[in-house]
Structure 1
């Protein structure tokens, strides 16, 4: 689909007319991205680098301009042909923009600027607005990373309460099952990569490839052999136990993991009779850990009952925290999983005396698809324009919805050196470059220039992003003076 590769057409129709709508004398604009609240009070920033590399690294050509000119003429919109020709001729087809952002992997409270976009060519002042449609899609990987990060905090809390090895197990406690439930391969890639910032278990191949392509990570995630219903039910109901035996024969080796969906007919019979009797010794002798997967029913009730039945059949030990850990087997719950059901399941099994060691979760639609831009109320807005040589504040303040009041002026995000708190502040009019502004004692810039005039200034590795995300948890747990976030 050649037309979808044209950057000039990667916008909303009405954007084509906006270059004619700014006040005469405008020669610069300044935009920002923020989460205006939402389900969570903190967001994990991720995905900008992938979007910039994919869409802004390839120069615009005169052929692209020709195609866009003809399209908008037929579409009913005016088109800034001269402006785009200038970008090709003067800038080599690379966009004259400066983009600053918080480092990827940062966990930032909502209502703070996460990204700023500035024009750098007076004759291309209209450009930051033109690419809003493209850049605001950043909401998707940030929101997936945010959901995944908050689930991680939930699971970590239960592991720390019930497990002898919380940190060692945590990276594999939430597995990405979401590839088939998203709207596109690109969504699977961006969303799958966003999840991998926090965890290392995934079946979303596109997510692993995205971290390799854009974040220098050779192998960000791992999986294990696992059955699906067709590989079990193709044996027929009367041969269900043979299907399970085949899984053991093929994959159950000393120290290995193998997952077997076991609810094709009756999960409780499968555990009590097939796993707990017919195959019990084979499981033990294999030296593998067999992961039983229930896939239907009330997740909270089914997980609890399955743990009880597996405990009866295979036994358990009591760990140093006083909670039971199954011998030879584990569970993975992948049906009906979302942040709320994960917490409910963990609360139930903890009350029943079982360690979080016993279970992992597979999350599909709830992780990669059951979200939208309003989950965290993302917006990209203009906050300043230079008209006749003077910077003016650009903002909206609708009387019908104060939640949509936007920020004013050129903006910087500052971080307190000691406490880690952040605050969005205006840049004085007499400061030409944001990075040159005088900072209050004890504060530093929380954003870095990542992209300028078609080139990467800062190229994050995935390992750096993961480390930053993990450090955010430590800082949040330590307290870090939440009052410092107040305006």
Structure 2
């Protein structure tokens, strides 16, 4: 039987890749491929490559890996390049003779531009860059898509705060990650939740904290925070007849000067909870506990529910008018909407409450499946394509240009990313670089060595944090 614990890089590929070393032209020496998001509604926030390199590319290939891979691949019905992998150990001690260039993580790049490029550094291993496509592309597209989606949401919220609030100081805590339970695996949570932390500082995904320490230098700094919060089980355990006591217990247990407490309040009747429990029976305690009660609706049409909740809270607790002319609840009471949040509903909710005269400062959002799981490689049309090959000492541009889909046309040649005269990012051929141009693709990994080791704090700064 096979005993791999998923750390065998040779098996971290598509099956058909195992036959490709036999398919390239005679005299092949170097193969260059690039990664891009071909289209989409969001700019790319590049993220995740460093995590992949640290986790998978720094350990050498061993004879045990080769033996296991040969057993699996031949039984699977495919040829196996044992001589090539053994040569890798003989010449390079099992370390990968490849060069990976990429834009710095946290860079914001318009779609249809190169963000990563890979080429072999030893002509014997012309087949290796494309063999790594499966793992490398997956390592980039998923966290980069989540970071891009999260950044898009951040700008929606930022715009609403600039319009309706006196300050945007609280922006890093305006979108909280609730996606751990809805993600497909723990590694998905680690990468996706961590990608959200490029843009925000709130999460309930503790796996992301481990990932930040493991891969992005956050072993001494806490990258994100959470607060005590109720779930339906802790509220309904008291029974409907003791709903008031359940809520009061939350205030008694977690209230206090500067503390925040989130309480889901629609296990039965949200409007009764706001009007008669929070706004009546417990009103004095809410006002005097010294912290902030964050009331959480969890059902219904998000825009309608949030607007009505704010209107009812305004009646019970009053509001002030800020310098932008919008109503703000007292500091001791706020809302968090964590159900049904995606980029479209987020904008709709904010527009709805601002049209009703309420500041966006009254509401925080939570996002779960919409953040970590409702994305695919097609969300931004991510692809890794070969663009140049050196045969017998001559570099040749290669590309695809299917007549049935112009959107899948690929780029040609060894590539570079520059800022043009209008300060716009532009992909060009490396041969067309001028002395005045800086290639924004930097060496990140060469011959088994990680050359760039950024902290999450540095990456956040690149996004304009």
Pairwise same-fold verdict (TM > 0.5):
yes
TM-aligned CA deviation for residue 388 of structure 1: 1.4
**1:3-45: per-residue Cα shift (whole Å, max 9, x none)?**
41111100011100000000000011000000100232x1110
- Specify the alignment match of 2:250 in structure 1: 247
The CA distance in 1 between the partners of 2:113 and 2:35, in whole Å, is: 8
Q: Secondary structure at the match of 2:30?
A: strand
- Specify the alignment match of 2:307 in structure 1: 304
Alignment of 1:306-455 (within 5 A): 306-327=309-330, 328-416=332-420, 419-428=422-431, 438-439=433-434, 441=436, 443-455=437-449
Runs of 4+ aligned structure 1 residues displaced above 2 Å come to: none
The CA distance in 1 between the partners of 2:265 and 2:405, in whole Å, is: 50
TM-aligned CA deviation for residue 2 of structure 1: 2.9
User: What TM-score, normalized to structure 2?
Assistant: 0.97
- Specify the alignment match of 1:141 in structure 2: 143
- Specify the alignment match of 1:153 in structure 2: 155
Instruction: Give the conservation status (yes or no) of the 8 Å contact 1:94–1:454.
Output: yes
Q: Secondary structure at the match of 1:153?
A: helix
User: What TM-score, normalized to structure 1?
Assistant: 0.93
Instruction: Give the conservation status (yes or no) of the 8 Å contact 2:416–2:433.
Output: no
Q: Secondary structure at the match of 1:202?
A: coil
Whether 1:467 aligns to 2:461 is yes
- Specify the alignment match of 1:283 in structure 2: 286
**1:56-85: per-residue Cα shift (whole Å, max 9, x none)?**
011111100010011111111101101111
Whether 1:229 aligns to 2:232 is yes
Instruction: Give the conservation status (yes or no) of the 8 Å contact 1:315–1:326.
Output: yes
**1:328-356: per-residue Cα shift (whole Å, max 9, x none)?**
20000000111111100000110111111
CA RMSD for the aligned pairs? 1.1
**1:143-195: per-residue Cα shift (whole Å, max 9, x none)?**
000000011111001101111111x1100000001011110000000000100
- Specify the alignment match of 1:174 in structure 2: 175
Q: Secondary structure at the match of 1:420?
A: coil
The CA distance in 1 between the partners of 2:364 and 2:165, in whole Å, is: 13
Q: Secondary structure at the match of 1:32?
A: strand
TM-aligned CA deviation for residue 440 of structure 1: 5.4
**1:311-331: per-residue Cα shift (whole Å, max 9, x none)?**
111111111111111012000
The CA distance in 2 between the partners of 1:60 and 1:183, in whole Å, is: 28
Instruction: Give the conservation status (yes or no) of the 8 Å contact 1:262–1:292.
Output: yes
Q: Secondary structure at the match of 2:6?
A: helix
- Specify the alignment match of 1:484 in structure 2: none
The CA distance in 2 between the partners of 1:91 and 1:256, in whole Å, is: 56
- Which residues of structure 1 form unaligned runs of 5+? 429-436, 472-487
TM-aligned CA deviation for residue 419 of structure 1: 4.8
- Specify the alignment match of 1:13 in structure 2: 15
The CA distance in 2 between the partners of 1:175 and 1:269, in whole Å, is: 26
**1:392-414: per-residue Cα shift (whole Å, max 9, x none)?**
11111000000000011111111
- Which residues of structure 2 form unaligned runs of 5+? none
